[in-house]
Amino acid sequence: MRKTKTSPARRLLLDRYGRVADGIALLFFPYVEVVIHDLQSQTVAYIANNLSKRELGDESALEEIDHVAEPGTIGPYEKINWDGRRMRCVSTVLFDDAGAAVGVMCINYNIAVFDEVKNVIDRVISGVGVVKQPEALFKDDWQERINTFLHAWLQERQLALNSLTRDHRREIVAALWEEGAFHGKSAANYVANVLGMGRATVYQHIRDLRDAVQ
């Protein structure tokens, strides 16, 4: 580790922003590293939860900082860590009380671990491969047909199942009746459970609809 003289700007970085770096790293431990760079010396001044295997005093390699030394956040951008894993990063320029850029705080998020979790989930979901439903076995799968129709109806109207009003539920029952959804055994009970309605209410709607066409 290189020894770097502690300048007033460097002391400000450590005293003012070091605890912020610790807090961020602690909150997202063990996936986030926070590095504070000293622009005056162009070296690493502080590291919280070291994931990049850098050392204090290492060169910062922030040659482009002259072009971005302004308030705001740079990124998110991605880079590859020493172990080949992807890191998603944001950098924020830090200023002293006079408004001069004195440092950069880089928050480096190890997203590779989530790629691994996603791969596991994808393998679990796909399994050995999904085959087409046997038609003879599922030819009268009225529950699936109700589910498909119901969620297409909701999507078309940009509605959520848990936010339906009484009128919405009445409209859905009428739409399902028009589709012949209630021919299936226990279909009315199933619809009542899915929509959070009383069974008697669903049966009454069906009777009203039947009477209206007679």
Please give the model's pTM, rounded to 2 decimal places.
0.57
What's the one-letter identity of residue 70?
A: E
With tokens 């038609």, the residue in question is 135
The third-level CATH classification (topology) of the domain covering 8-115 is Beta-Lactamase (3.30.450)
Is there a contact between 62 and 54 (Cβ–Cβ < 8 Å)? no
One-character DSSP codes across 140-209? T-HHHHHHHHHHHHHHHTT--GGG--HHHHHHHHHHHHHTTGGGSTTHHHHHHHHHT--HHHHHHHHHHH
For residue 1, the model assigns a pLDDT of 44
Identify the pLDDT of residue 45. 92
Q: What is the DSSP string of 44-78?
A: EEEEES--S---TT-B---GGGGGT-SSSEEEEEE
Amino acid present at 144: E
Domains in the chain: boundaries: 8-115, 135-212
Q: How far is CA 202 from CA 91, 133, 180, in A?
A: 57, 30, 14
pLDDT at 34: 96
Residue-level pLDDT at 112: 84
Whether 94 contacts 36, CB under 8 Å: yes
Please give the pLDDT value at position 141.
Answer: 66
Going residue by residue through the chain, which has 214 residues, state the pLDDT in tens, using 9 for 90 and above. Answer: 445 567 777 888 888 899 999 999 999 999 999 999 998 888 889 999 999 888 898 888 765 554 454 556 888 888 888 777 888 999 998 988 888 888 999 999 999 888 778 777 777 776 655 555 454 434 456 787 888 888 889 989 898 888 889 999 999 999 998 888 888 778 888 889 888 889 899 999 889 888 887 6
Q: Fill in the DSSP letter of residue 96.
A: -
149, 181 in Cβ contact below 8 A? yes
Confidence at residue 144, expressed as pLDDT on a 0 to 100 scale = 77
